[in-house]
Amino acid sequence: MFGSGERKRLQREHRNTGRLPPGQSLTLKWPVLHVGAVPAFDPASWRFYVEGLVERPFELSWEEFQSLPRVRVQADFHCVTTWSKFDNVWEGVSLSTIVERAKPTPAARYVIQHCDGGYTTNAPLDDLLRDNVLLADTHSPEPLTPEHGGPLRMIIPHLYAWKSAKWIRGLEFVKRDRAGYWEERGYHMYGDPSHEERFR
């Protein structure tokens, strides 16, 4: 734990190097933030689906998902409500693995994330292909708790955290960008923290 003087010094330092985006402050805690209720997880009936503009749409059971190749990513996490949590260690399946398997058609340019409970959010396909984007089921190094999106959530470290959908169940590949839950309510279509793309 650090005192408030130390925290201010660290914040200044990280802001100067650009690691802490403008308007953000450091948190050591991990706030829980979402709309609606935490969904129940039933490993027997859980499915993850990929659909839309792909050559090979598919569906995976929890067991099948667990057999995919795994990656570990260390990354910072920036919520639009201004907290940033540094150095999270996530484990799970790289989005590249999912995309390679699905083979998006040339027309596919955006991806809509679909969640249990109906939450959605959008991002460009190119962004999902970055090295540190993954479907995470583990955090530092425990299984992801239900309130933080367990059993499975998206992690896109370079966009605001509302683009990292908890309880993710599917990906839809589309041609044109389409607003998700928060984007429909005024949040930015892209959401880059380094440019404070909070609202539009």
Token pair for 155: 């992690």
CB of 54 to Mo ion, least distance (A): 29
CB of 82 to Mo ion, least distance (A): 9
Kindly state whether residue 111 participates in binding ligand MTE, applying the rule CB under 6 A: no
Kindly state whether residue 148 participates in binding ligand MTE, applying the rule CB under 6 A: yes
Give the one residue of 164, 172, 183, 193 binding ligand MTE; rule: CB under 6 A: 164
Kindly state whether residue 27 participates in binding Mo ion, applying the rule CB under 5 A: no
Kindly state whether residue 79 participates in binding Mo ion, applying the rule CB under 5 A: yes
Kindly state whether residue 187 participates in binding Mo ion, applying the rule CB under 5 A: no
Of the pair 94, 113, the CB lying nearest ligand MTE is at: 113
Kindly state whether residue 48 participates in binding Mo ion, applying the rule CB under 5 A: no
By Cβ distance, which residue is nearest to ligand MTE?
34
The answer for residues whose C-beta is within 8 angstroms of residue 172's C-beta and 6 or more apart is 51, 52, 111, 112, 114
Question: Cα–Cα distance between 194 and 106 in angstroms, integer?
Answer: 29
| Stretch of 10-18, 19-27, 159-167, 190-198 contacting ligand MTE, by CB under 6 A | 159-167
Using CB under 5 A, list all residues that contact Mo ion: 79-80, 161-162
